[in-house]
Structure 1
Amino acid sequence: MGFRDPGSSYGKPPPTMINMSRMGGRTAMANNNEPARPMTAVRGAGYTSFANKVQAAERTISTENLGESEEEKCKQMENKVMDMLRESMIASEKKKYKEALDKAKEAGRRERAVVKHREQSGLVESMNLDLTFTVLFNLAQQYEANDMTNEALNTYEIIVRNKMFPNSGRLRVNIGNIHYKRREFTKALKYYRMALDQVPSIQKDTRIKILNNIGVTFVRMGSYDDAVNTFEHVVEEQPNFASALNLILTSFCIQDAEKMRESFLKLIDIPGFPDDEFMKEKEDDDVLLNQTLNSDALRHWEKQQKNEAEKAIITAVKIISPLIAPDYAIGYEWCLESLKQSTHAVLAIDLEMTKAGEMMKNGDIESAVEVLKIFNAQDSKTAAAAANNLCMLRFLQGGRRLVDAQQYADQALSIDRFSAHALVNQGNIHYMNGDLDKAMAHYREALTNDASCVQALFNIGLAAKAQGNLELALEYFFKLHGILVNNVQVLVQLASIYESLEDSAQAIELYSQANSMVPNDPAILSKLADLYDQEGDKSQAFQCHYDSYRYFPSNLDTVEWLASYYLETQFSEKSISYFEKAALMQPNVSKWQMLIATCLRRTGNYQRAFDLYRQIHRKFPHDLECLKFLVRIAGDLGMTEYKEYKDKLEKAEKINQLRLQRESDSSQGKRHSANSTHSLPPSGLTGLGSGSGGSSGGPRQYSAHIPLLDNSAAFSVSQRDMRENDFSYDDPIGMSNRPKTGSRKTVTELGPDDFGEFDESLLPD
């Protein structure tokens, strides 16, 4: 009972129980095939094969779970990059280039974060290169849209030099386009050729577009022969209207008539879009179907392509017609005949109209009229257009041609009663004839038939303005302003109406808007200056007048205003230059020379002013103001010419007084003679040549028609000695009922040389 085992302690369980308690349920859960563990170990050392398998399996499971979570996280980050790319592209499509660039940069930052995260997670093998390429390409495009060409070039170079991006070499076309915009044509040509080498021959469309860029670059460089060869290759490989027109233009540059003919034939041989017979058949059957097909996007694209083809052909005809034949008309006729034999024969009628317009531009009006008269035998639509053109042509000729214009307008209306253009022409004719009410009626009818006829709306506003109905004119022009936003003519008309209504603030606002669109129009600037001057804003008025003078220095009113402004502001030196320009424009007007002399006097340069007054006196010897200033300055300076100019001034003043008196007497005599009857003179008054033995009852013989008697003094206009009594004659009968004789003409305008030179003492007091 008292024996104790020295290897054990009191109260402790045996070793077997301790191990079992520490192992817990591990031993119970162990497989029966597992070898026994040493009892001295607290935990497994892992040296058995079974333990290695268990740990490897656990490690594999944890690694797979971690890899799946990291890959999912990377995909989520890439989705965010794609969302940012979409936002950037949408902003660019809406012309919000700054916002698009910011979003493109943000997409680039997020994409780099995805790449870094993949590198840290060991997922480089699943790198999304397409996303990287898209982000860089979008960033380069946004740089280019914001005119940041250097940044765009650097981004494109990063893409091109990366060998991991397939087919990135064709982006050298974009690099060439940037150099082309920067007018670096040699570099642009180099990159275009490099891009052409990168594009395989199977991608024919891309190669043709690059070749077209190369041809345009040759044109910019002046290498027209190389450009012709390039465009010829393009037209042969894949003919299109733009390249064919470029070929014609380059042939025009080298003045090769034969090449122009060949190029034109290649142009009209390009097939166009055939007429849609289905639409013609269904036009009257199903209106809803017709409207649906006409509003289709593909239909709009087809119409756009047709318009571009027609524009290319008509432009080519206008360019080559004067050069492919000795005469413009012959060349035009050759183009028309060639066109009639092609698939674009329907354009021949439009070209005939264009031919008439070109003849009018060249001044051959009658030939243009003859060409337009041919269209009377055409279909109704063409005949109506020709009649409208003839009406407008005769209307512009004016005068007696308005009758012909009226006939052509009636003819156009008889063909198409609802033609808005014919009604506008009819209203214009009535407007020129002064019948504003009928003109207004025709303009209203034109607007009823075609609410978008801006010509009718503009003309009806003018007619209402001419009638004095400014409120109605204002209403019409505001309607037109809503259709033609920021149209200069409409803004000027509105401003003019407000100016007539004495609303200067509104008129200034509208004239300022018009001036912002055409800042080099001197008339608008003059209007603004006048309004500012009326408002008392001299500084703004001066600025507008000065700008108007810069664009139109020959406006005499502007020159005079500027000179007067400097004169009022005590800058006489500056006003001299403007008065000198006015004197150059009107050299026979003494006013400008006198103003120059006035400015010289104000500056204190009396000697120069005196010399100028002497020059003015030599050129205009009867100018009293000049003589007065000469007398004043000569007296102030104590010159010897003082007495001479004073005598001339006194003579000139007396002569001027006599002239004014004679004019007044002459005007009174004309009034009395108009009221009096052609009766015989009173018996007490005899004519100069009647004599003493004349019969009192016979007809009077005027002295201008009979020789003078010996006892009468000979009358002559030549110079003679005059006595003082000759200037103080008192008529005993009076001036009221004195008859006018036919001996001489009544002097209505007496020149200073009519009296000749005589002594001052002979002049009356």
Structure 2
Amino acid sequence: MDSPPPRASTPLGRASSGSLTSYGSGLAPPRTSVLLAKGGRPGTGLGGGSPTTARPMTSSKAAGYTSPARSGTGGAHPASPSKAGAPGAAPTREQCEALEERVHALLEAAAERGAAGDGSGAVDAAKEAARREQRLCAMLEAAGTGDQISLDLKYAVSVALGAAYEANGQPTDALGVYSQVIKSRLFPQAGWLRLNMGAIHFSQRDYAAAAKQWRMALDLTPPAYQRMRLNTQRNIGLALVRAGRYAEASEAFGAIMQEGPDHQTAYNLVLCAAAMGDAELMRQSFAQLLQVPPYVDDSLEGESSLEDAGEPAEPDALQEALQAKQAEADGYILSAARAIAPLLHPGNWARGFEWCREQLAAAGYAALASEVQLARANEHLAQREYAAAVGLLKEFERADSKQRARAAVNLSTLHLLEGQLEAADGYAQYCCEADPGSTAALVSAGNVHLARGEAEAALQLYEDALQLEPSCLQAQYNAGLACRALGLHDRALALMQQLLHEAPGHAEAMLQAGDLCDQLGDTAHAVEWFTRLLTKAPHDSGVLSRLGALHAKLGDEAEALACHTEAHAADRTNLDTLSWLGAHYVRRQDYVGAIPYFEAAARVQPREVR
């Protein structure tokens, strides 16, 4: 950032008795000194006065200096601006160093406040650091040591001010600061600030501008900084994905895979291929994902031989970190397989799952291949192809215990949907025994008890599941249903509200919460819940009819009529809506208007007494 030019300082002389007063800017010009000679006339420069008295020369310019005194005289000494202690004296080195230390302290304060979330305080500290840095430059110029001005400090001050603006939610000001630093051409590393500018544009959802800034930063990054170049390319790809330019994004991710492949980039490449619907590119990118080397710590191989066989090995932080990395990579691979499997063969989605399973097994990911098989079984369930799902799930009888338990959970649910409670209970019990720490197993067993009418036993299992995983939505919802079956409406409502706090768009929980509020006599809150539910199902005649009935309870006849009319438009066979509308016109003594609704109700249910 360009700093304002240092102000010109004019030294001021110190006034002394019997001498001339020198001046600076803003002072009156000096008066001509007149020393009266003998006889009362003014003395001249040729010694017309007393021979022992020195007369200062009259200056034609306001220079502020006196002529040197003659030898043997008692004239005044010149007023020197560099005299120690003078008001206009040049700043000392100690003063400059103290001011520089103050600038560094302000920079640290700005960084600390920004990290603590005090964006306004960070901006104030950064602005003060910028002002003091400009003052330091002016002092160094005045001292004649302008070559000692630190460009690194000036750059740090500018970057700190831009970062403070970002932290304070002032992206426009931050962009202005970064742009000025780049345009100044004083700092060779200023081009990397385009990374910050790209991040600001990305947060503003201006993805085209973000990609442009990151591409310019990539051009300025030397090849030696490989990691920075790869991260910048990854950011470019993500910006292009957000902009919907999947072909360009796949090119950016493909370039990364050529220079430094990693699981996340390969996963993004798979998603771009899926978004474009290019089956061949899906296969190629998935194969590249499987070719990325796994996280294996070769340096630790053979260490177990150095340990005593009877002593357990101490936890290894490096090994734990590698395992966490590998778990993350496995998640990318499994998500990619689930995403592309139904798209590889649109006419036969099962072939896509089979291809992914074969590729995983060939690459040595046997556990992930089993997960894909489970996903295939779930897809059969979604397509209501129960026989095929059961056949796949029973293949897991030869798998390890955890996979058998997961397959048993699905089998238990499947038999429960078919009404085969004994078979469902058998699989649920096996799940709990094979994997006692599985929330899915506990929820599955609770579902069987709830279907049998054993609400208390089901509630206990749901509570056990919530102790293992408090955020399990299935356990919360089913526990609410169990409480409602036991008549614990307040507790059921609390569970539904807790679920809606974690998952605000859960439509079934909204319906239960509204119904429970209605039963508890809180009609106003019931209206709120059904109104929210209406945003998820705007044309559901049942929700509209129920909302109209609640408005009628509150005495809002106009709103009730509007809701029931809209419900009738969505479903002309809803008896509750037809009955309410007919009764509404009867109450208004508009019998002609009521007749069509009663006739429609009679056609729907000719034997209904109403």
Q: What is the TM-score of this pair, normalised by structure 1?
A: 0.56
Q: Are 2:405 and 1:388 equivalent residues in the alignment?
A: yes
Flag the 1:43–1:257 CA change in 2: closer, same or farther, 3 A: same
Q: What letter matches 2:545 in structure 1?
A: V
SS in 2 for 1:78: helix
Is the 1:136–1:155 Cα contact (8 Å) retained in structure 2? yes
Corresponding residue for 2:8? none
Q: Partner amino acid for 1:348?
A: A
Whether the aligned pair in 1 keeps the contact of 2:514 and 2:527 (CA below 8 Å) is yes
Question: 1:362 is paired with a residue of what secondary structure?
Answer: helix
Tell me the CA shift for residue 588 of structure 1.
8.4
Deviation at 1:136, TM superposition (A): 3.0
Residues 179 and 187, structure 1, Cα contact 8 Å, conserved in 2:
yes
Contact 1:283-1:290 within 8 A present in 2 as well? no
Aligned to 2:557: 571
**Equivalences for residues 205-604 of structure 1 within 5 A:** 205-274=227-296, 276-278=300-302, 281=305, 285=309, 289-291=313-315, 293=316, 296=317, 298-322=318-342, 324=344, 327-342=348-363, 345=364, 347-363=365-381, 365-367=386-388, 369-371=390-392, 373-374=394-395, 376-377=397-398, 382-398=399-415, 399-400=419-420, 402-403=422-423, 406=426, 413=433, 424=442, 431=449, 463-464=456-457, 476=463, 480=466, 484=470, 490=476, 493=479, 497=483, 512=497, 514-521=499-506, 524-525=509-510, 529=514, 538-548=523-533, 551-552=536-537, 554=540, 556=542, 559=545, 562-563=548-549, 565-566=551-552, 569=555, 571=557, 574-575=560-561, 578=564, 581=567, 585=571, 587=573, 593=578, 595-604=580-589
Shift of the 59–225 alpha-carbon distance from structure 1 to 2, 3 Å rule, reads same
CA positional deviation for 1:105? 3.3
The answer to whether the 8 Å contact 1:572/1:603 transfers is no
What amino acid is aligned across from residue 267 of structure 1 in structure 2? L
Name the CA distance, whole Å, in 1 between partners of 2:162 and 2:595: 74
1:119 is matched by which residue type in structure 2?
A
1:144 aligned to 2:166? yes
Structure of greater Rg:
1
Deviation at 1:384, TM superposition (A): 0.8
Bigger shift: residues 105-114 or 163-172: 105-114
Deviations 1:646-670 (A, max 9, x none): xxxxxxxxxxxxxxxxxxxxxxxxx
Q: Residue in 2 aligned with 1:187?
A: 209
Aligned partners of 1:375 and 1:386 also within 8 Å: yes
Q: How does 1:96-135 map to 2 (within 5 A)?
A: 96=117, 99-120=118-139, 122=142, 124-135=146-157
TM superposition shift of 1:210 = 2.4
Residue 308 of structure 1: how far off its partner (Å): 2.8
Shift of 1:77: 0.8
Displacement after TM superposition at 1:334 (Å): 4.4
Partners of 1:545 and 1:181 in 2: CA distance: 35
Match of 2:106 in 1: 81
177-186 vs 402-411, which moves further = 402-411
* Residue in 2 that maps onto 1:685: none
Write the distance in 2 (CA, Å) between the matches of 1:572 and 1:38. Answer: 111
Letter in 1 for 2:371: M
**Partners of 1:549 and 1:555 within 8 A in 2:** no
Shift of 1:412: 8.8
Q: 2: distance between equivalents of 1:190 and 1:104?
A: 28
Q: SS state of the match for residue 198, structure 2?
A: helix
CA drift at 1:194:
1.8
**1:87-132 CA-partner distances (Å, limit 9, x unpaired):** 13532xxxx3xx1452243133233223314413536443343333
Describe the shift of the 1:235–1:523 C-alpha distance in structure 2 as closer, same or farther (beyond 3 A): closer
TM-score of the two chains, using structure 2 as the length reference: 0.69
* Letter paired with 1:353: E
Q: Deviations over 1:325-357 (max 9, x none)?
A: 685454444444444554xx1x22322232232
In the alignment, which residue of structure 1 is the partner of 2:200? 178
Aligned equivalent of 1:665: none
**Counterparts of 2:436 and 2:549, CA distance in 1:** 56
Amino acid at match of 2:552: Y
Q: Measure, in 1, the Cα distance between the counterparts of 2:256 and 2:107.
A: 38
| Closer, same or farther: CA 339–72 of 1 in aligned 2, 3 Å | same
Q: Is the 8 A contact 1:192 1:210 kept in 2?
A: yes
Conserved 8 A contact 2:479-2:492: no
- Partners of 2:483 and 2:358 lie apart in 1 by 52
Q: Deviations over 1:578-612 (max 9, x none)?
A: 178369757485x7656434422433535545787
Paired with 1:529 and 1:76, the residues of 2 have a C-alpha distance of 64
- In the TM superposition, residue 160 of structure 1 has moved relative to its aligned partner by 1.7
State the distance in 2 between where 1:508 and 1:545 align.
14
Aligned to 1:23: none
Secondary structure at the residue paired with 2:208?
helix
Q: Which residue of 1 aligns with 2:7?
A: none
C-alpha contact (below 8 Å) 2:114/2:167 kept by paired residues: no
Tell me by how many angstroms 1:169 deviates: 0.6
Q: What 5-or-longer segments of structure 2 have no aligned partner?
A: 1-68
Compared CA separation, residues 285 and 246, structure 1 to 2 (3 A):
same
Give, in angstroms, the shift of residue 319 of structure 1: 3.6
CA distance in 2, matches of 1:192, 1:315: 28
Question: How many residues get paired?
Answer: 529
Higher RCO (C-alpha 8 Å, min separation 6): 2
Q: Aligned partners of 2:292, 2:566: CA distance in 1, in Å?
A: 64
Cα RMSD after superposing both structures: 5.0
Deviation, 1:191, is 2.0
Question: Residues 498 and 403 from structure 1, CA distance in 2 versus in 1: closer, same or farther, beyond 3 angstroms?
Answer: closer
1:153 positional shift: 1.6
Distance in 1 of aligned mates of 2:451 and 2:603? 51
Percentage of pairs with the same residue = 21
d(CA) in 1 for partners of 2:451, 2:598: 52
Q: How far is the alpha carbon of 1:70 from its aligned partner?
A: 0.7
Q: Secondary structure at the match of 1:202?
A: coil
Q: 1:153 to 1:424 in 2, by over 3 A?
A: same
Distance, in Å, in 2 between the alignment partners of 1:212 and 1:360 is 33
User: Within 5 A, what are the aligned runs for 1:718-757?
Assistant: none
Aligned with 2:176 (options 149, 154, 158): 154
> Can you give the 5+ residue segments of structure 1 that lack an aligned partner in the other structure?
1-36, 47-54, 437-461, 467-471, 626-765
1:490 partner amino acid: Q
1:130 to 1:429, Cα distance in 2 relative to 1, 3 A: same
Paired AA for residue 303 in structure 1: Q
